[in-house]
Structure 1
Amino acid sequence: MGGEFVPGEGDRIAWRVRCWETVRPAPQQGLLPGALLPGLPAGLDHAARMGLWADLNAGALPAGQLVIDRAGYHQESSPALFTTAVELLVHVLLAGAFGSPAEPVIRSCVATGRLPDVTAWS
């Protein structure tokens, strides 16, 4: 899963999840081995949106712009996996936006099976 978060001013976050028809065709490298393909396929884009709802509805994300626009996937990719992946991605992007390294966030999530409190970044 890949994307970008840019902190902004105010109290609102603008966000979007791009499906595969709306992005440029060049694959991009992620933190893990293998290329991330541009856009998310139909069905999995919906799963990614669902992964964002809790943080968005709780107001846990700071003001700014969030775009989720690439992923590694294949025909048998699980919507549940995409929901979890986008939740982790939000934490990684927030860590980077606030000057913290992403690796400890990933290691903690893998070790505990839980995501850190997203409000800790703002």
Structure 2
Amino acid sequence: MSFLNAKSLTKVYKNKVAVDKIDLQIEKGEFVTILGPNGAGKSTTIEMLTGLLQPTSGSIQLEKINPTKKEYRTKIGIVFQNSVLDSELSVQDNLYLRAEMYKNVTPADILELPI
């Protein structure tokens, strides 16, 4: 089994299909780039793969761990195209600021990081 598996991954907003039955397998250590035009579902797919957004249907597993589990977030990383850091803040303060944007990340999660 691959490191990350997505099967029939789908996200629907009201009557708009943003992601339509994507199958994806990524091996441990691989670097993956998702390319496509605006509105193709790239951001939605990344949000589902990183556990920030629940798919409408389909499944995702990372080393057999479901994205709703806390352990999932410790095993996956993402590098954004543009920096999302505030250069005036410390690393820890940047992490706290970003954590406030997500309902499934708490200040306690940041305290567990080796920073």
TM-score of the aligned structures, taking structure 2 as reference length: 0.27
| Higher RCO (CA < 8 A, seq sep 6+) | 1
TM-score of the aligned structures, taking structure 1 as reference length: 0.26
| Bigger Cα Rg | 2
